Amino acid sequence: MLIAIRAPLNIHPHSQLAKSPIEY
């Protein structure tokens, strides 16, 4: 499931910012 959510985030330029909240 994490991979599915990460896929769309990778496309965004702010991948790091988007990953922060998801990683927590």
11-23: pLDDT as tens digits:
555 555 555 555 5
Q: How confident is the model at residue 5 (pLDDT cuts 50, 70, 90)?
A: low
**Structure-token pair, residue 8:** 């769309």
Could you tell me the pLDDT band of residue 6, with boundaries at 50, 70 and 90?
A: low
Instruction: Count other Cβ atoms within 10 Å, centred on residue 15.
Output: 13
Whether residue 24 is predicted with pLDDT greater than 50 in this model: the reply is no
Q: What is the pTM of this model?
A: 0.14
pLDDT at 12: 55
